Structure 1
Amino acid sequence: MTELREDLLGLSDFAWERLRTRVEGLTDEEFSWEPMPGCWSIRDGKADGDALPPDPPPFTTISWRLNHLMDVLQAERTATWFGHQPLPDDGLPTTRTTAAAAIEGLDHAYAVWRRRLAALSQDDLDRPMGELAGRYGKDSGNTFALHILDELIHHGAEVGVVRDLYRGQQSEDPSVTALLNGDRPADLDRVRTERPSLVAEAAAAKRWDAVPPLLALGFAIDARSALGRTAVQLAAGSGELETLKLLVEAGADLTAEDPAFHATPLGWARYFDQPDAAAYLLEKGAR
């Protein structure tokens, strides 16, 4: 029987990998974007907040949410309320004011939380947390662990939604639109530099017709989409045999794994029940 701790770790890692993928490529502009007046954000190195927030609470920016998640995961209580002590290297979360710094801080905070969670015994999870947890003292360690996971899951989902909203407000680069339509823009070199993952983006949007000309124009074959998927994984999972063959013959990496499920292109073909794609990949030595 799987121990409760292993189930908690599995759920935690799943939610973390989803969030970590969703913040790849986050820009400072997105990080601080306020889609409506009155947002809570990070200002002058501090997070907006109030012990008694407005009702309903203000909309919060990605910067606010990521800093809040660092606070939740790395707080001393995620050790002490379970009856453990923080390690000297754990440190305390500090406010991060740029996207890159926030992602770095988030990586550290999650590593701290995961190590603490992995160190728990069944007794740590079963027993009431006691006086140190204040009004939650009668609750079990398992209840508290689930609360932390709920914070990770729902704030991670909110970050993803805000990124979607931000993307929806942006106009597509006319040169990218031209490339997806099979035309060659005058500023091709710029687009290749700024959007190296355009082959994967085209595959993710199921614009299979755009893949051959993009490859011919030198766009990276193994670059990844926003969710960390390569074009060959997407072609295999979609059963797009003609595109799949083109990508394989052009040297696509058949060992590449996606960040969420750690599946190779062959794994994608099998999971999405694409027998022809799977047979072709096996013929090419994929594993």
Structure 2
Amino acid sequence: MTTLTQNLLDLSDFAWQRLRDRVEGLTDAEYFWEPFDGCWSVHKADNGYAADWAWIPPGPPPFTTLAWRITHIADLLQAERTATWFGHEPVATDDAPAVPGSAEAALEALDHAYEIWRRRLAALNQEDLDRPMGEIAGPYADNDGTSFALHILDELIHHGAEVGTVRDFYRGAHAEDPFAAALAGDLTPADRPALLAEAAAAQRWEVIPQLADLGFAVNEATADSVTAAHLAAGTGSLNTLRFLVENGADLSLTDSRFNADVRGWAQWFKQTDAAEYLATV
């Protein structure tokens, strides 16, 4: 029988991986992007960087940048209370890192924070989850450990969704056509190895043969291990799927979301013609 702790871990890991996939490739330009005046962000301070903060924030609350949101997620995951409110003690290596001043440092801080949170969550037993948290939790003294674990997971999930949305806003505001750049010779496979998979994700089927001719590999995958063949099979794009197979697509590769191979995608998304074709190759 699956324990409550394991169910919480499974939910946490799912939410975490979704967030981690969404921030892959984050640039400093995105990290510090302020789409409006008066944003809360992360700024240079006397000793490194500091995040905007106030006990009583302005109303309505300021729009917060990716720098602020990612720093906030890291802070809440590794906060001392995610140990002490469960009746446990932090370990010496759980010290919070400095506020990250770059996208690269932010992803490192995020990874570090999640490792701390996951270790603390995995250490909980049923008694920890059932027990009222007591005086240390202030106004939440009567709430049990499960309610607090769910609160942290809610924070991870909803702030993670915000991060993904801001990245979408940034992409829309800084639209580019990497496929046109590649066809013009301004982008090479060394610059962007997974561009052919990106074209499939964008359902730009018409450029895939041209990208393959330019040396973009058919078996390179997106951040969640999805290849162009997965996407062609899952959308029922049979002509593209045939082209990929004829040009060496590895149909045994599995993605990180469904752990399914290419035919598995065709079956999952009910693309009968694609599934039948794949059964013959």
TM-score by length of 2: 0.91
Conservation of the 8 A alpha-carbon contact between 2:234 and 2:268: yes
- Aligned residue runs from structure 1 range 109-148, under 5 A: 109-148=113-152
Moved more, 228-237 or 156-165: 228-237
The alpha carbon displacement at 1:256 in A equals 2.9
Moved more, 74-83 or 153-162: 74-83
- Aligned residue runs from structure 1 range 203-218, under 5 A: 203-218=200-215
- Aligned residue runs from structure 1 range 78-157, under 5 A: 78-157=82-161
State the Cα RMSD in Å: 1.9
Moved more, 163-172 or 243-252: 243-252
- Aligned residue runs from structure 1 range 219-230, under 5 A: 219-225=216-222, 228-230=225-227
- Aligned residue runs from structure 1 range 146-185, under 5 A: 146-173=150-177, 176-177=179-180, 184-185=183-184
Q: Which runs of 5+ in 1 are unaligned?
A: none
Taking only the aligned residue pairs, the percentage that are identical comes to 59
**Misfit runs of 4+, over 4 Å:** none
Taking the aligned partners of 1:206 and 1:241, their CA distance within structure 2 comes to: 13
Matched residue pairs, number?
277
| AA of the residue aligned to 2:236 | G
Q: Which runs of 5+ in 2 are unaligned?
A: none
Taking the aligned partners of 1:139 and 1:110, their CA distance within structure 2 comes to: 24
The alpha carbon displacement at 1:210 in A equals 1.6
The residue matched to 2:93 in structure 1 has which SS? coil
Taking the aligned partners of 2:244 and 2:98, their CA distance within structure 1 comes to: 44
Conservation of the 8 A alpha-carbon contact between 1:18 and 1:260: no
TM-score by length of 1: 0.89
| AA of the residue aligned to 1:169 | A
The residue aligned with 1:12 is 12
User: Which one of 61, 71, 74 corresponds to residue 75 of structure 2?
Assistant: 71
Conservation of the 8 A alpha-carbon contact between 1:239 and 1:274: yes
Moved more, 195-204 or 159-168: 195-204
The residue aligned with 2:243 is 246
Taking the aligned partners of 1:120 and 1:87, their CA distance within structure 2 comes to: 15
The alpha carbon displacement at 1:226 in A equals 5.8
Conservation of the 8 A alpha-carbon contact between 1:83 and 1:124: yes
Taking the aligned partners of 2:261 and 2:89, their CA distance within structure 1 comes to: 40
